[in-house]
């Protein structure tokens, strides 16, 4: 049985069914979930039936597509309704998500640039040691305080026992703070997230997930949708990891766990506008934006790991703002290829997505989401208008911003811990000279040089052979010296890197949607030119940074839990190497993280006391947020003009 065949179940339903089980049945729950997964299912309208055995059936009733009450799951076995089957079915089904409109985003939702000094802070600016491009010379003040000797060192005096209560403030003169109920909900989320770190993926079974779902439901009721969404994301990723889903990545679970713990912590320490960002929104609202004159840029295919497919067409306003018109639904790459030539769902326009990418629109009564998606409500009126070439105003202005400034803007959008409602785009608009193909550990990519002499690696956006990306990039690699105007999506890395989405035609006339349009050898300036393997000099400041030594320990915690990290033993050699690279804070965090994982105190009789899960979670969160902030800083520094480019 595939979990996708089951209807989504509301988090509180799953939590209630698991909590109502006896201790004996809770121990059998994970095995019951696995056993139920091998059974066949059938759907009849809003009801899905699972054959538990030859004589017993389990039914999930989902009016409106979601199982919303415990009574909607029924079982025909003799022990029902106190049987393990109902809880197992709820645990096997997807957790209902209240934000389905986010499914067509090209990258995972990621949340606020991290500060090294406070893993849960919402500061938009990291400390100088993180944001300074010369971070390799990071120096700390002369002091005896280190993360090994003082837990507050890496967390700006953050308590090691989870979210701290906010002191009482004068409501007449102070900004709004979280209510006691919200702080209690945040405490529950923190504890549930810390329990996942303690157990790891292998130990975070249905009972641990149920605690997360209960905490998420409570957070929703307490108006904390951002933290609740992070908890649901953790549950979804845990289930994918335990089921062996090939699309699962440990890095995604690291990000979701750090978002959950960081947001839970900040509920109790934030106020005013920062608290509003921490609370988040259950849905991204569309707000009126009056009349818009839009100019098409390009159309890209969207194919997700969840089996959805479609297109996203990018347009720009007369003021340079970027907007998107999308059409994404279940169907995979086949649907993406078909939808590109369907009419855009916007007003009375008869343009297809491909046509809109080169034409224009005049829109009245426009509605726009915070991330730039154009709404298609009944009040929206749109008619076809003249487009503009990339070399004509207003589009030409997009290529006039220096690459380093564009990269900094894109990083604010793609940051793992950016404000979800912060908006912004991860696209870069560059004029480049192609240098040829370059070998990498994972294959090869196209190397180009942009303004300032910065070498940029242009990677394939989607390797599916049904799309044109791979063949087009291979052909462009055979034309060194060609000058193009390109649009790409930033890939955060210690070196300048983009996924190539669109480019001007090599002949200078028109544009190419690299996912759909196929270049021919005759389109290239010299179709007989051999592929040139360009020399690749080391990237920016972080090209060979040993920061990965800390990053891999952060990731190792997630699959196997705290105990596995505690068995690593002496990490002196690793910390010494990190310090030699000029990263003393990273070295201190690594030492503190491993020491906290291994620490187990005993009582007066020599018996082991429970592990300090809150303290370990605090160190882990500090390390996760620190590595993300440094990686983003190194990426930003790599886009600065080279000395050759300045001359």
The DSSP-derived string for 284-340 is: ---EEEEEEEEEEEEEEEEE-TTSEEEEEEEEEETTS-EEEEEEEEE-HHHHHHHHT
- CA 354, CA 633: separation in Å to the nearest integer? 36
Is the pLDDT at 148 greater than 60? The verdict is no
> What tokens does 373 get?
């998606």
Burial class (CB in 10 A: 0-12, 13-18, 19+), 549: buried
**Given pLDDT bands bounded at 50, 70 and 90, which one contains residue 238?**
very high
pLDDT at 485 over 80: yes
Q: Looking at 505-557, which runs of residues are DSSP E strands?
A: 511-513
pLDDT score of 604 = 80
pLDDT in the model for residue 241: 93
Checking if the pLDDT of 62 tops 50, the result is: yes
Question: Mean pLDDT throughout 323-343?
Answer: 91
Average pLDDT, the chain: 82
Is residue 70 classed exposed, middle or buried when 0-12, 13-18 and 19+ CB atoms within 10 A define those classes?
buried
Q: What is the mean pLDDT of residues 81-109?
A: 68
pLDDT for residue 98: 52
**Confidence band for 567, pLDDT divided at 50, 70 and 90:** confident
Q: Determine the average pLDDT of the residues in 579-594.
A: 93
pLDDT above 70 covers what percent of the chain? 82
**What is the DSSP code string of 460-480?**
ES---TTSSHHHHHHHHHT-T
From 14, 416, 27, 60, select the one nearest 216 (Cα to Cα): 14
d(Cα 594, Cα 567) in Å, to the nearest integer?
A: 9
Question: Distances in Å between the alpha carbon of 113 and those of 131, 186, 363, 416, 624?
Answer: 11, 20, 35, 7, 12
User: For position 110, what pLDDT does the model report?
Assistant: 29
- Residue range 108-138, pLDDT digits in tens: 332 332 333 333 333 333 333 333 322 232 3
For residue 541, is pLDDT > 60?
Answer: no
Beta-ladder partners of 457:
447, 497
Q: Which pTM value belongs to this model?
A: 0.78
pLDDT at 154 over 50: no
Among 87-91, 96-100, 362-366, whose mean pLDDT is lowest?
96-100
Using CA of residue 451, residue 456, residue 462, residue 464, what is the dihedral sign? positive
What's the residue count for the chain? 647
Q: Which of 20, 194, 285 lies closest to 621 in space, CA to CA?
A: 194
Q: Are 119 and 622 in contact (CB under 8 A)?
A: yes
What is the band of 2 on the pLDDT scale with cuts at 50, 70, 90?
low
Residue 364 phi, psi dihedral angles, 5° rounding: -115, 145
What pLDDT does residue 119 have?
A: 33
Sheet holding 57-61, edge to edge: 41-44, 47-51, 57-61, 73-75
Burial of 334 (0-12, 13-18, 19+ CB in 10 A): exposed
3-state helix, strand, coil split of the chain in percent (to 5) is 40, 20, 40
- Which residue shows structure tokens 């564009």? 406
Q: How far apart, in whole angstroms, are the C-alpha atoms of residue 638 and residue 647?
A: 18
Which residues lie below 8 Å from residue 249, measured CB to CB, with a gap of 6+? none
Closest CA to 623 of 569, 559, 565, 543: 565
DSSP-derived 3-state class of residue 83: coil
Q: 100: phi > 0 → left, psi -120 to 50 → alpha, else beta; which?
A: alpha
Taking 70 as the threshold, does the pLDDT of residue 75 lie above it?
Answer: yes
List pLDDT tens digits, range 155-189.
333 333 344 444 444 444 567 899 999 999 999 99
229-251 average pLDDT score: 92
Choice among 91-105, 249-263, 307-321, 546-560 with the minimum mean pLDDT: 91-105
Structure token pair of residue 602: 């005993």
* Mean pLDDT of the 196-216 span: 95
Spatial neighbors of 253 by CB under 8 A, at least 6 apart, are 201, 234, 237, 238, 241, 558
Question: Among 79-83, 390-394, 413-417, which is the least confidently predicted range?
Answer: 413-417
Q: What whole-number distance in Å separates Cα of residue 29 and Cα of residue 581?
A: 48
What integer pLDDT is reported at residue 22 of this predicted model? 93
581-589: average pLDDT: 93
CA 315 from chain center: how many Å? 24
For the CA atoms of the chain, what is the radius of gyration?
A: 26
* pLDDT reading at 526 higher than 70: no
Maximum C-alpha span of the chain: 83
Q: Where are the alpha helices (DSSP H) in 76-171?
A: 84-92, 128-131
Alpha carbons within 13 A on the beta-carbon side of 336: 22
Average the pLDDT over 384-408 and give the result: 95
What's the count of helices (H) and strands (E) in the chain, helices before strands? Answer: 20, 15
Cα-Cα end-to-end distance for the chain = 63
| Mean pLDDT across 446-467 | 93
């Amino acid at each position: 049985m595939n979990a996708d065949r089951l209807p989504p179940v509301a988090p509180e339903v799953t939590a209630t069914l698991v909590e109502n089980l006896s201790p004996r049945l809770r121990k059998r729950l994970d095995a019951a979930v696995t056993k139920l997964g091998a059974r066949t299912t059938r759907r009849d309208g809003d009801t899905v039936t699972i054959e538990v055995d030859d004589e017993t059936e389990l039914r999930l009733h989902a009016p409106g597509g979601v199982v919303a009450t415990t009574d909607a799951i029924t079982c025909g076995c003799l022990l029902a309704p106190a049987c393990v089957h109902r809880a197992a079915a709820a645990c096997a089904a997807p957790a209902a998500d209240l934000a389905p409109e986010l499914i067509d985003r090209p990258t995972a939702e990621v949340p606020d640039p991290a500060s090294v000094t406070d893993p849960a802070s919402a500061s938009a600016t990291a400390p100088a040691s993180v944001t300074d491009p010369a971070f390799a010379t990071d120096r700390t003040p002369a002091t005896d305080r280190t993360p090994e000797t003082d837990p507050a060192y890496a967390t700006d005096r953050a308590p090691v026992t989870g979210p701290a209560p906010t002191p009482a403030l004068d409501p007449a003169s102070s900004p709004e703070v979280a209510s006691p109920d919200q702080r209690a909900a945040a405490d529950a989320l923190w504890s549930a997230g810390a329990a996942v770190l303690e157990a790891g993926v292998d130990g975070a079974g249905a009972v641990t997930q149920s605690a997360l779902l209960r905490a998420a439901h409570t957070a929703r009721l307490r108006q904390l949708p951002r933290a609740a969404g992070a908890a649901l994301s953790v549950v979804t990723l845990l289930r994918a990891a335990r089921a062996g889903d090939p699309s699962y990545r440990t890095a995604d679970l690291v990000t979701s766990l750090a978002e959950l713990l960081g947001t839970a912590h900040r509920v109790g320490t934030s106020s005013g506008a920062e608290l509003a960002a921490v609370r988040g929104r259950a849905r991204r609202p569309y707000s009126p934006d009056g009349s818009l004159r839009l100019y098409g840029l390009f159309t890209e295919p969207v194919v997700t790991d969840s089996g959805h497919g479609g297109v996203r067409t990018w347009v720009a306003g007369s003021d340079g703002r970027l907007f998107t018109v999308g059409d994404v639904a279940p169907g995979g790459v086949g649907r993406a290829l078909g939808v590109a030539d369907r009419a855009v769902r916007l007003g009375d326009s008869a343009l297809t997505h491909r046509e809109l990418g080169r034409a224009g629109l005049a829109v009245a009564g426009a509605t726009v989401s915070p991330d730039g998606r154009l709404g298609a409500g009944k009040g929206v009126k749109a008619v076809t208008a003249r487009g503009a070439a990339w070399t004509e105003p207003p589009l030409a202005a997009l290529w006039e911003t220096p690459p380093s400034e564009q990269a900094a803007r894109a990083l604010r959008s793609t940051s793992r811990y950016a404000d979800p409602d912060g908006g912004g785009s991860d696209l870069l608009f560059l004029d480049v000279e192609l240098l040829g193909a370059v070998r990498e550990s994972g294959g090869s990519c196209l190397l180009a040089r942009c303004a300032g002499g910065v070498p940029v690696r242009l990677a394939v956006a989607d390797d599916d052979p049904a799309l044109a990306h791979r063949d087009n990039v291979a052909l462009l690699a055979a034309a060194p010296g060609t000058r193009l105007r390109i649009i790409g999506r930033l890939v955060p890395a210690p070196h300048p890197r983009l996924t190539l989405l669109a480019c001007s035609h090599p002949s200078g006339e028109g544009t190419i949607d690299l996912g759909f349009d196929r270049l021919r050898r005759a389109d290239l300036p010299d179709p007989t030119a051999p592929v040139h393997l360009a020399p690749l000099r080391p990237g920016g400041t972080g090209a060979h940074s040993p920061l990965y030594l800390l990053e891999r320990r952060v990731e190792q915690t997630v699959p196997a839990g705290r105990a596995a990290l505690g068995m690593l033993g002496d990490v002196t050699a690793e910390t010494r190497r990190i310090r030699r690279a000029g990263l003393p804070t990273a070295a201190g965090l690594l030492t503190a993280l491993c020491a906290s994982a291994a620490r187990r105190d005993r009582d007066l009789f020599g018996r082991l006391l429970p592990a300090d899960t809150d303290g370990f979670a605090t160190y882990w969160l500090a390390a996760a947020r620190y590595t993300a902030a440094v990686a983003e800083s190194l990426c930003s520094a790599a886009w600065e003009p080279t000395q050759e480019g300045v001359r």
